[in-house]
Chains A and B, each alone.
Chain A
Amino acid sequence: MNNQSKLENVNVTTLKNEKHAKASEAAALLKQRKLKKAGLFALFVGPAFLAFALIVLIPFFTGMYYAFTDWNGVTGNVKWVGLDNFTYLFTEDKQFQASFWLTLRYTVVAIILTNAVGFGLALLVTRMLKTRNILRTVFFLPNLIGGLLLGFIWQFIFIKGFASVGQLTGLSFFQLPWLGDEKTAFWGIVIVSVWQGAGYIMLIYTAALQNVPQELLEAAKIDGANRWQTLRHITLPMVAPAVTVCLFLTISSSFKIFDVNLSLTNGGPFKATEMLALNIYTEAFVNNRYGLGEAKALVFFIVVALITVIQVTYTKRKEIES
């Protein structure tokens, strides 16, 4: 390590000082520097990438191989079936298609609500409220409970709690057959995930909002801008990077929703709320059609990756513009 750093010192200083050195010497140095840079790059990026490749990439590609087979997840027989699984998905598997649209619908709703509520909460807790520290914790509290347990607890609330509130107040909202039909089950999942996700997103927006320079806001006030104009033209552009991050996080977590889906509704009633991740899981581990499940996962991955890449590139460009 010491040798290396000395080398680097020499390297840097020589480069800085001897600008008029001979061309060949400079070229040799340049090559050496390049090599060293590559080594340094590997040293910094290597460990994380190694773990990532071993734990995520290799299993991912192995899994993709099974997408072209009829493996059942247990036996040694793995038969190559080419694109059969994919043809089946797009032509015959109505449940997959239904799950796909459902997940898209859910994702749009969840992204909008989670970000809106999260941003609203962030605005609240960055005001000079006396209780802001407590509130910040309260809003974040839902994240402390793991997904599966969360679903079970909310089941209690929807089925028992809402019913008792309904009896007490007579409000029709609480007397709906919660989780018992498509609509209430769908919104039940939305409510739980917004309740949990908003605090998470709030945390990131809070950090960004604290970063908006006070002087800018004061200046806007002096210029006669109202609250909405300040928010629209000063605050929002300043927190644009946070928006990119939050959008990305909510998109990927909404698409991947599994725990809450499984424990709150288990896809029911009548499979009306079976989102994609649960559909994939059921296909692979309940129906014992592992190959088909992997084919679904591959389609799912491509679609979500495309959407998120488009989103990240788009909002990043926006950031630069503003």
Chain B
Amino acid sequence: MKKFPFAAGVLSLSLLVTAGCGNDKTTGEKTDTAGGKVVVDIFQGKVEIADQLKALTEQYTKEHPEVTFNLQTVGGGADGASALKAKFASGSAPDIFTIEGYQSTLTWKDKLEDLSDQPWVKDAYESALKPTTLDGKIYGQPANLEGYGFAYNKELFKKAGITELPKTMAQLEEAAKKLKAAGITPFSVGYAEWWVLGNHGLNIAFATQKDPDAFIQGLNAGTSKIEGNEQFKKYLGLLDLTVKYGNANPLTTDYNTQVTLFASGEAAMIQQGNWIQPMLDKLQPNMDVGFIPMPLSDDPATADKLAVDVPNSWVVHNGAPDADKKAAKDFLNWLVTSEAGKKAMVEDFKYIPAFKTIEAKESDIGPLGAELVKYSKEGKTFSWQFAKYPDGAGQQFGATLQTYVSEKASEEETLKALDATWVKLKK
């Protein structure tokens, strides 16, 4: 017992010493570039590709022994953005990380390296560069493409006798009626998730404006309004339609339940994107599925479009040491130009590439991915305007639309509340 204070003293001393070592180590990592060796820190939030990306970085190290990687992937359930901010605050910022683009490009622009001169820029789809383009400079490498609409079950459509795919709002209601008559729930609605409503749903109204950018600028300047705008009224109409012909308890149906309803064949349509493919493969392998648009009008020419855009882009931290920056850029270039990188992107990551030079097969990206590629090639897409919302507005929009779905707010109140949110959160 008498040794205890002594032990405690040693303990705290050793604590200080190890703490000191920890410090040396972190700074050491940044300076060991002098010997020609570089450690590139990558921070990303997609656990689905964590192992595959690690394998890819190891392959790169084999080809370029002087470059090694420190890959950190943050698991879901927590907000990756706050962890990233914490990293910057602590002075251990990663060299490569991901951002969503548009509004977040603006938020992070102080920290981003200009990538306009990179060789891969010419290979990317022009629209895929938009999210990270600011004042004519390109700050990010699009990681992949994702898209959504109404995914539908081809078998159930056949069963209900729907021969022609609905492309307009009127046709959609027609199809819903037929499905219902055949004893099938037309829509699987998961409005417990704010992003299904506030981001993906409401986006349709933003994206189908005559000039979405001008409309959003107008909202920021106070010259345009959501209330009284035709597209938003129509979107609420579409929302009514899905609720009317949807499963019970839309507000307690979360993403898991929503996809399960669709995969089990209880419901014929679902407002989701190609990201449900892995879950469908697990729940109902070889399910025959495709996309139909989320129509806001009765003109098939304008309505038949899917919302396709870049969910995340790779960016390089401009405050990193030059050697790190160079290595980071080289790696990103290798990722989309080398055979190994291209192959991993479609076969291992199962990504829909955002590059003209990378071909994706249906066997890799699934039927939903293939349909998106088809729509993209025909130019029948619109972009994800929700990435241009003021920070946090998507959540608030989701909440407002949930109120609407629960019939606690009228159409007019809802539209007014959407306007109020924009005014409140714009900077």
Q: Which 10 A-B pairs have the closest CB atoms?
A: A287-B392, A180-B252, A288-B391, A180-B251, A285-B82, A271-B399, A270-B402, A270-B403, A270-B399, A286-B392
B251 touches A181 (CB 8 A): yes
- Nearest CB of chain B from residue A84's CB, rounded to whole Å: 14
A-B pairs with beta carbons under 8 Å apart, 29 shown: A1-B6, A72-B107, A73-B85, A74-B108, A74-B110, A75-B107, A75-B110, A75-B111, A158-B252, A159-B252, A159-B253, A160-B257, A180-B192, A180-B251, A180-B406, A267-B399, A268-B251, A268-B398, A268-B402, A269-B406, A270-B402, A270-B406, A282-B395, A283-B392, A285-B85, A286-B391, A287-B391, A287-B392, A288-B392
Chain B residues near A72: list those with CB within 8 A: 107
Flag whether A244 is at the interface (Cβ < 8 A).
Answer: no
Chain B residues near A178: list those with CB within 8 A: 252
Tell me the residues in window 364-409 of chain B with beta carbons closer than 8 Å to chain A beta carbons: 390-392, 395-396, 398-400, 402-403, 406, 408
Flag whether A177 is at the interface (Cβ < 8 A).
Answer: yes
A288 touches B107 (CB 8 A): yes
Tell me the residues in window 33-92 of chain A with beta carbons closer than 8 Å to chain B beta carbons: 47, 72-77, 92
Q: How far is the CA of A47 from the CA of B53 in the complex (A)?
A: 43
Q: How far is the CA of A177 from the CA of B192 in the complex (A)?
A: 12
Knowing A47-B12, A74-B85, A288-B107 touch, does A179 contact B252 (C-beta < 8 A)? Answer: yes
Knowing A1-B6, A74-B85, A269-B406 touch, does A155 contact B254 (C-beta < 8 A)? Answer: yes
Chain A residues near B8: list those with CB within 8 A: 47
- Nearest CB of chain B from residue A44's CB, rounded to whole Å: 10
Chain B residues near A267: list those with CB within 8 A: 399
Flag whether B91 is at the interface (Cβ < 8 A).
Answer: no
Chain B residues near A282: list those with CB within 8 A: 392, 395
B425 touches A287 (CB 8 A): yes
* CB closest residue in chain A, given B391: A288
* CB closest residue in chain B, given A266: B194
**Per-position binary interface string of chain B over residues 227-258, scored 1 when its CB falls under 8 Å from any chain A CB and 0 otherwise:** 00000000000000000000001011110010
Knowing A74-B107, A282-B392 touch, does A148 contact B192 (C-beta < 8 A)? Answer: no
Main secondary structure of the interface of B (DSSP, over half): helix
Q: How far is the CA of A270 from the CA of B254 in the complex (A)?
A: 14
Tell me the residues in window 265-322 of chain A with beta carbons closer than 8 Å to chain B beta carbons: 266-271, 281-289
**Per-position binary interface string of chain B over residues 104-148, scored 1 when its CB falls under 8 Å from any chain A CB and 0 otherwise:** 000110110000000000000000000000000000000000000
Chain A residues near B390: list those with CB within 8 A: 287
Flag whether B28 is at the interface (Cβ < 8 A).
Answer: no
Flag whether B81 is at the interface (Cβ < 8 A).
Answer: yes
Flag whether A263 is at the interface (Cβ < 8 A).
Answer: yes
B392 touches A74 (CB 8 A): no
* CB closest residue in chain A, given B194: A268
A285 touches B194 (CB 8 A): no
Chain A residues near B408: list those with CB within 8 A: 270
B107 touches A263 (CB 8 A): no
Knowing A75-B110, A159-B252, A268-B399 touch, does A181 contact B406 (C-beta < 8 A)? Answer: yes
Flag whether A152 is at the interface (Cβ < 8 A).
Answer: yes
Q: How far is the CA of A54 from the CA of B6 in the complex (A)?
A: 23
B81 touches A285 (CB 8 A): yes
B251 touches A1 (CB 8 A): no
